[in-house]
Amino acid sequence: MKFRVERDALADGVAWTAKGLPARPSVPVLAGVLLRVTDNVLHLSGFDYQVSSEAEVPVHADADGAALVSGRLLAEITKALPGKPVEVAAIDAHLELTCGSARFTLPTMPVEDYPTLPALPERAGTVDATKFAAAVAQVALAAGRDETLPMMTGVRLELNGPSLALLATDRYRLAVREIEWQPDQPEVSANALVPARTLADTAKTLGPLGGELVIALAAGAAEGMIGFAAGDRRTTSRLLDGANYPAVRNLFPASHTAQARVPVAALTEVVRRVSLVGERTTPVRLAFSGDGLVVEAGGTEEARASEATEASFDGEEPMTLAFNPQYLLDGLSALSEPTAVFSFVEPGKPAVLAPATEEGEIVPGYRYLIQPIRVVR
């Protein structure tokens, strides 16, 4: 195998295929990226039995062939190379990279030991890549990180006709985003629970490519596999078991007794400042009234902080709730509009955040539910 390729194209392709490789693989070859050249196209593959990633890069090939090398090392090297064409050649049990005056020699692993990548499941439809990436970012932040509760570490995709809904919860907050997509079967109805980290990494990489993103899903998700493809890249992932996923939509209150509208940027700054006096999980208290909003926090050794900020409040009685500051900041950061609308039932019940225009009109499609913390004063 011998070929010449542009440095940026090679670095991007390697980064895509190596992004999910395990640091401590159960089998050494799973830490590798497979390079295979045929017909002036470099095929890059990465696989850890859970997630597979593939990319194609046009090259000027002198000889076809294949080589398997450490994915993480290759990604670091290609990212650090100077902006010049790269010459790559497989010589005996080594892979040589030459870029300008820089030269690297990497040991290779047996290509024949590398597992066969799974095929992309049956295509289900397409979605705008940019919109999908934005939706995933808004929802994945609410997914759990406790691996002992695997169901909570996923993002649930609900495909119902032209509607695509994404949901995630860690039991303390819940995010839901609904967007439109183009199903191949108009009456499609399927659910899939995708590992949140995998979905977020995939969407973050494929979103900037723009255009259409193909969603591929095994019939009824029964085979436990989902795939995404855009441009010259594709990926597959095993699904989490979502058979007993809770009916989280029922957590959203059917009505509210009070609402408040607050500028997102201003509240974000205030919460960050006030929370400095406490630990990472020390609650911040939000006191809403007809006079506006006061944000307070108390830390150790009698440290206290409070700050007033602009807010409009519509409710019969003032409302005070305490939240985990990071959960609150996550919700504010996910709002795509300049105003945050808080909907309340009572102080001990979850609050719902929704995006709104500067005029205060709620923009449908996204909701973020956050459970308040009981604070004894």
CATH number at residue 309: 3.10.150.10
For residue 9, how many other CB atoms are within 10 A of its CB?
A: 17
Mean pLDDT, residues 292-313: 90
| Domain C-terminal end among 249, 283, 318 | 249
Mean pLDDT, residues 62-78: 97
332 and 346 in one domain? Answer: yes
146 and 75 in one domain? Answer: no
| Domain C-terminal end among 215, 249, 283 | 249
Reported pTM:
0.93
Whether the Cβ atoms of residue 174 and residue 368 lie closer than 8 Å to each other: yes
170 and 106 in one domain? Answer: no
CB contact burial 240-276 (16+ within 10 A = b; e otherwise): bebeebeebeeeebeebebbbbbbbeebbebbeebbe
186 and 134 in one domain? Answer: yes
For residue 186, how many other CB atoms are within 10 A of its CB?
A: 9
15 and 87 in one domain? Answer: yes
210 and 129 in one domain? Answer: yes
Place 223 in a pLDDT band, splitting at 50, 70 and 90.
low
**Nearest Cα residue to 150 out of 63, 261, 245, 274:** 245
Residue pLDDT, tens place only, 329-366? 999 999 999 999 999 999 889 999 999 999 999 999 99
290 and 225 in one domain? Answer: no
What does the DSSP 8-state code read for residue 207? G
Work out the mean pLDDT of the chain and round it to a whole number.
Answer: 94
Whether the Cβ atoms of residue 200 and residue 134 lie closer than 8 Å to each other: no
Q: Is the residue at 118 inside a domain?
A: no
| Residue that wins the pLDDT comparison between 39 and 375 | 39
Residue pLDDT, tens place only, 286-302? 999 999 999 999 866 77
Tokens encoding 307: 């700050």
265 and 234 in one domain? Answer: no
Give me the number of domains the chain comprises: 3
Residue 31 phi, psi dihedral angles, 5° rounding: -85, 0
pLDDT of residue 94: 96
Q: Quote the domain boundaries for residue 72.
A: 2-113
Residue pLDDT, tens place only, 108-149? 999 999 999 999 999 999 999 999 999 999 999 999 999 899
131 and 102 in one domain? Answer: no
215 and 280 in one domain? Answer: no
Res 222 pLDDT > 50: no
Mean pLDDT, residues 194-213: 95
| Domain C-terminal end among 84, 113, 142 | 113
Res 59 pLDDT > 60: yes
- Residues in CB range of 73: below 8 A, 6 or more apart: 106
138 and 35 in one domain? Answer: no
Mean pLDDT, residues 31-40: 97
